[in-house]
Structure 1
C-alpha cells in the first residue's frame, strides 16, 4: 500500500493514456495555489491491469500489488475481493438470483476534510476505474448504479436503502429523500436506472444530501457495458468547485458529455473535520454486475502535520517537565547535602564541646560520669512509680545510688524533645559553673546509647515553687527570716554583716505586720536599723490580718478622714 506524500504533478493530462487506445481528452487538473503545495496520491487498491496503465502515466505513482487485501479497506455488504478486483454485488449463483443488494468498500483511514482552528478546507482528488456489466446492450432490465460518496465518520447504510437508494438513503419515502436527507452526505452517482422522479433517464450526477441530483448529464450504461471506465473527481477548496470527469477505454459516444462541475462549499454541507470516503454499488428488482478495478485518493490537508504539531507540543512539554524535574531534583540534592554538611558542622562543634566537658569531668573538675546501666538500676528501669514529674524536655525519676548511698533525681531527656546536644551541653555548662547552697547540685551525667541524662541531688522537701505556689504555702517567721538570709546575693561572696541583714529583715516584716496598729513609725524603723534601740520581738506565729471597717454612722459631710486613732500614734 502506498504511503502518503507522493508528488502530485501539475497539470495532469489525460492524453497520457492514449497508448491504451483511449480517446484523447483535453482535460487537466491544476493544483490550487496556496498552502499545501503537494497532494499525496494514495493508491487504495489496484489490479494488474491498472499497473499497466501506470507504466504510461507516472501520475499514479510507483506500481503496487494490493489485490484488495490491504488493511485500510473495509468491505461491506456483498463486496468481496475477486481475481484482483472487487465484486460489489452478488447477482446469480447457480439458479439463485440476488435482488436488492448492496456492496461497498470504505477507506478505513479517516480523511480530514477541514481544520476548525485554521478554517482551512482540503483539496482532494480521487481516481478509480470500474466496469458495469448490464448483460449486453439490448438488455433493458438492469439497475441501479454505482456511487462515490463522502459521509460522516461512522456512517452505515440505512435499512431499506438498496435499489434506488443506492445504499446511501432510505427508500421508505422516496419523495422525502428527493427533497433533503437528514444526514449530511455528498456523492457522485452513475445512475443506471431510469427513474421518473430523478431525471427519467440514465445519468451521471452530483448529489448533495439528496437522491435528486444537483447537476447531471445523460449517460448510457448499457452502451458501455463491460467496458472499463476511468473516473476522476476533484475538489478545489479555493473555487469551491467539485468536478467529475470520466472516459472509457473502448467505447465512446460523441453525444455524451463526460465532465460535470458544481459549486458547493463542503465546509457548510459537511460541517465536520473528519469524514470517510467510499465506493458502492446497488441493485433492485433489476440487476447488473458492478466491478471495481482500482481506486486512488489524495488530499492536501494532511493530518500528519497536525499530528506532527501535537508531537512537537508533547515532546516540548515532556522536555520542559523533565528538565524542571531534573533541576528540582538537583537543587533538592544540593540542599540536602548543604543541610547535612551544616548539621555535621554543628554536630562537630557540639561534639567538640561535649568532648571538652567530658574531659573536664573525668579530670575531676566537675560532676562524675555514670553509666546508663547504673542509672537504670538506680531508678528501677525508670519505672512510673519512681517518676517525680514530667517536663517539656523529659521526665525526672527518683533513684538511689548504692555506691554513694544517696538519693538522686535523674532527668531523662526524651528522644522527641526539642532539647538536643546543644541544650544538653548548655545546661551542664551553666549548672557546673553555678555554686550556691540553695541551687540543686549536679552530681553526674550520662549520654550512653544515644541517651542524655543528668543526675541531680534529690530534694526531699520539694522545690521552692512548691512552697511559694503550693496549697500550704504559709511560712513561719523563722522560715521567713532564715531563708532570705540564705539567698543573699552571691556577688557579696558571703562578705556581709549578718546582724545588719537580720535587722533589715525584721524591720521589713515589722512594717508589713497584718495589724496596722502594731506597725512602726519611720522614727522607730530608723532607730532599729541604726541599732539605737532593740529589735522588736515579733511573734513567731503568723497573725491573722485584721481590717477596721468604717462606721456607718459617720457624718456624710464630714471633712475628717476615716482613719482610726491608732494610726495617729507617736511618730506618725
Structure 2
C-alpha cells in the first residue's frame, strides 16, 4: 500500500500532461476577431487598422499591404508528420472609387515567412515574376481576384481561386454561392462594396480543401464553391504564418477585412456579424431635412446670378471637353477624364516630361485620387496618322496582360488630345543603361540576360500565346522599360498590328526604326512576326555588344552591327564582340548563345529565322541552338536587293553593307 498513492499520483500527473498536450495541439492558434481594434497584428506596406476597427489592406494613397497573425502556426503535430486539418473564416469587402472596375485583388495566405514580395498589381503582393510557380514558395492562398490576367490564365475579372505556390490557380470559379434549397448558382460581385464571408476548410486525412462564399448574414452553403484534392503536406512548412495581402493598380481601391477566425483540427469559431464594425458609406450622404427648407431660398439666390455662372461653367467645360465614339463602348481599360490627366501632370508641365518620340511626348504623372505614379503618353495627331496610332495602341494592348508588357491602365480622348496611361516604370528605358551618361552605371551581364529573356517572353506572348497575333513592329532598347526590380517590359505598341492566328496580316505600310528593319520589310512594306524576330535579333546584338545597330567610322562610312559581329564569328573570336564594360562578370556560354541567336534571328532570309517559341527554348537551355558558320560570303545585301529590282538599296536599307551566308545549320551549340 505504501507505493499505491505515489503511483496513482504519478499516473494522474501523466494523464493531465497528456490532456494538456492534446488540448494544445488541437486548439493552439484558435482565435476569432470581431473587428481589429487593439488586436496584435503585424502590418506592412499600406495596411492599417482604422479607428472603427476595420483592417484596411489598401486605401487611396499606396497600393500594397500585408497583415500577419504575429506568430507562426504549427501545421504539423510532429516534424515530418502530415499537415493537420485547419479551418478559417473571414468577412471582407472591396470598395472601389468606380462602380465597374477595380484593381487588383486580395488573398488569404499561408506562407513560411513574413518576407513576402513587394510586387504589386497582378501579383497581389504574394509573389513576383522570378519566383511565381516555384515549389520552394511553400505557399497556399485563397485569392479574390478582380482583374483578369491572361498570363495567369484567369477565367474572368470576378473570381475566387485556390492557389498553390503560384498566381495560376489550381482551381477557380466565378464569384458566388450555391443555394442549398434550389441548388442554383447565385452570382456575387467582389467589387460591389458589400461585405461577404469566406470559409476555407482543409481536411488533413482526405487532403481536401473546400472554399465557400456567401453574402454577409447568409449561412454557409453545404456545397462549396471550390473543392480540390491536394496534399498540403507537400506544400506547407511545419511552422507557417497566416494573413492577408492585397494590391491595387491605378484604380483607387480599399480592401477591407472586418472579422477573422481560425482553428486547427476543429471548425473555425463562428463570427458574430452583429459585433463587426460597419463599413464606411459609399456614395453621397443622404440629404438633410434642413436642406429641404433652405433649398428654395438658395435656388432663388442662385437664379439671379445664373447668367454669369453659366458662362464660367461653359468656359471651364470646354477646357476639359472630351470625345467618345462607338468603338470605345466595349473597350476594356478604364477611361480617365482629361481633367484627371491635366492635374496629374500639373498641366503637362515640362518638368514632368519623361521623353519625346516620333508620335508624341510622355509625361510622368500622379493620379490625384490614388496617388499612384503613372506615365501618360500624349499622342501627336497633326494628321490622321496620330489618330490611327492611338486607336492601334488602344485596340491592340487594351486587354493584354503579361508581366513583360507595360500594362495600359487606361486612356483619355479630348478634341486635340489623345492620351494613354501606363504603369510608371521607375527605372526608365533600357536605352539609358546601354548608353549611360558620364558617371552612371551600366547593366551587368546577369541583368542584361534577365532583360533579354523577359523581352523574349513578352514577344512570345504577343506572337503565339494571346488570342490574336500582335506584331509589335518597333522592338528596340528605347521601347523596353525597366520596373523597380529591373524586369524588362516591352512597351510602345503604337505601331502594332493585330490579326487572327493563321491569317495574313496584310500590313503594307512600312513603319519602324532604321537599323531594325528586316530586308523583306524594306522591299514590301509588309510586317510579320518574322520581321519582329529580325528586330529582336538586332536587339540581342545591341544589348550584348553595347553598340548601336548602325554606326559611323572616322571617315563617315556607315557600318552595321550585324556585319561587325559576323566578322568576329568568322575569326572564331565571337566573345570579343561583347561589351567591354562587362569585364569578367559574365557567363561566357550565355554571351555566345545570345550573340549566335542574334545573328540567327537577324538572318536575311525569313525561313532561316527561328520563331519566338524556339527562341525561348534556346534561351532557357531546353533546346541547343543550331551551330552557325560563316565560311562563305557569296552575296551582299546590295546584290540581294538588286535581284529584287531596287536601284538604290543603300537608301532603303542602310543597316547592311554585306551579309554573310550561314552555310551550316545543324544541331549542337
- Using the size of structure 2 for normalisation, the TM-score is 0.32
Q: Structure 1-normalised TM-score? A: 0.37
Structure with higher RCO (Cα < 8 A, 6+ apart)? 1
Q: Which has the larger radius of gyration?
A: 1
